[in-house]
A = this chain, B = another copy of it.
Amino acid sequence: MDPSKISLPVLKNLSTDTITENVHMINTHNNPNPRLSYILDRLVSHLHDFARETRLSTKEWMAGLEFLTSTGQTCTDVRQEFILLSDIVGLSLLVDSMDHPKPTELGATEGTVLGPFHTHEANHMESGSNMSKDTEGEPLLVICTVKDTNGKPIPGISIDIWETDSTGHYDVQRPEVNKGEPDGRCVMTSDAEGGFWFKGIVPVSYPIPHDGPVGQLLVKLGRHPWRPAHMHFMFDGKGWDPLITALYVRGDPYETTDAVFGVKDSLIVDIKEVTDEAMAKKYDVKVGHKLLTYDFVLVSEEQSAKLRDQRAKEALEKLGRRVKIVDGLPVPDLD
C-alpha cells in the first residue's frame, strides 16, 4: 500500500506540552491491538513525564542512548545484559510478583527473579543424583517436596535447578572449564509423594557480571554487584502456575543488600547437617554432611489467574482506570 495513503491523524503544534497527545494519537489510530495500544500509551506517557520532570538535557539523553546501545551490544548467547539491567532496578522482581501472585496466606511459595543464567541445556536426573562436578565445593544434600496449598503432594512436576560452582560462576560463564557440558544444573521430576532430592554444593555469594554497562552504572550509584548465596528452582507442570524462585542461605553478608532485589524472608533457609545415622545411610552421605530441606507449595493456574486478575482490577481501579481483562491482561474499558 502507498504509505502516503495510510490514514493518520494530523500532527500539530508539536511542543513540550503537546507532543505526548500527538504520539498517542498516531500510535492508536491504526493499531489493531488494544493491549499494545495501552502499553504504548502508558510507556510514552511515563517516558515523556520522566523527561519533563528531569528536564532531561540533550547531553544526558545521548548518554542514555549510548548506555542502552552498549547494553544491547554486551548481550551474547550466554549473557543477557538487559535482564541484568532490569534486575538491578527492581523491574524483574516487580513483574514476577504481578504475573505470578502467590496467596501466601495459604502457604504458597513466593517467587523471585529468574536471573539471566537459566538454560535449556540441563540434563534430566533421577532423584539422588549429584548435579555438581565441582570438587572444590562443599557437598550439600538437598531434600525437597512439592505440594499444593492443601498439603497434597504433586507428582510429575518438572523442576529446573541451577547454582554456581564454588567460584561463583555458572557453567555457561566458564566454558573453558565445562567444555560446553552442563554443570551445577539439572532437571528432576517429583515422585509420587511430591518428593525430589539431589546432591549439589553449598551455594556461595557472587557478583553479577559487572564488567559491562550495568556494572559501570552500579559503581556510579555507589552500589556493589553482589548477590547472596542462593540456589535457583523453577517448577513447571500442567495445570500449575509456573514457579520461578530461589532459596537464600541465611546469614550471607549480602542478605540485606542483594544487587538484584531477589531475597524474600520466606525464601531464606538454614544450611543444616545430617545428624541421624539412619538418614545418612538412606541418602548415602556421612553424618555431618551439609543439608538443605524445603517444602515448596504450588498454586494452580486457575488460582493464580484469578488472583492476578483480581489484583490487576483492584490496582487499576485504585488508579482511577476503568479496565477490562482481555486474555488475562488489562486494557482500558472504553465502553
Where the two chains meet, the residues of A that have a C-beta atom closer than 8 Å to any C-beta of B are: 3-4, 6, 8-16, 19-20, 22-23, 26-27, 29-33, 36, 38-40, 42-44, 46-58, 60-61, 65, 68-73, 75, 80-83, 86, 89-100, 207, 220-226, 253-254, 256-258, 261, 263-265, 308, 311-312, 315-316, 319, 321, 328-330
Chain B residues with CB under 8 A of A9: 257
Query: In the complex, which residue of chain B has the Cβ closest to the Cβ of A2?
Result: B253
CB distance from A305 to the nearest CB of B (A): 12
Chain B residues with CB under 8 A of A15: 97
Contact yes or no, A36 B90, CB < 8 A: no
Contact yes or no, A96 B254, CB < 8 A: no
Given known A46-B47, A94-B48, A256-B11, contact A69–B75 (CB-CB < 8 A): yes
Contact yes or no, A10 B100, CB < 8 A: no
Contact yes or no, A98 B51, CB < 8 A: yes
Contact yes or no, A49 B51, CB < 8 A: no
Q: Can you tell how many copies of this chain the complex includes? A: 2
Contact yes or no, A38 B16, CB < 8 A: no
Cross-chain contact of A256 among B10, B39, B56, B94 (Cβ < 8 A): B10
Contact yes or no, A90 B48, CB < 8 A: yes
Chain B residues with CB under 8 A of A3: 207, 224-226
Q: List 29 A-B contacts (CB under 8 A).
A: A4-B254, A8-B223, A11-B256, A11-B258, A12-B256, A14-B97, A14-B263, A16-B94, A27-B223, A30-B223, A31-B221, A36-B221, A39-B56, A42-B50, A44-B89, A46-B46, A47-B89, A51-B94, A51-B95, A53-B319, A55-B308, A55-B312, A55-B330, A57-B95, A58-B96, A68-B82, A69-B80, A70-B72, A72-B73
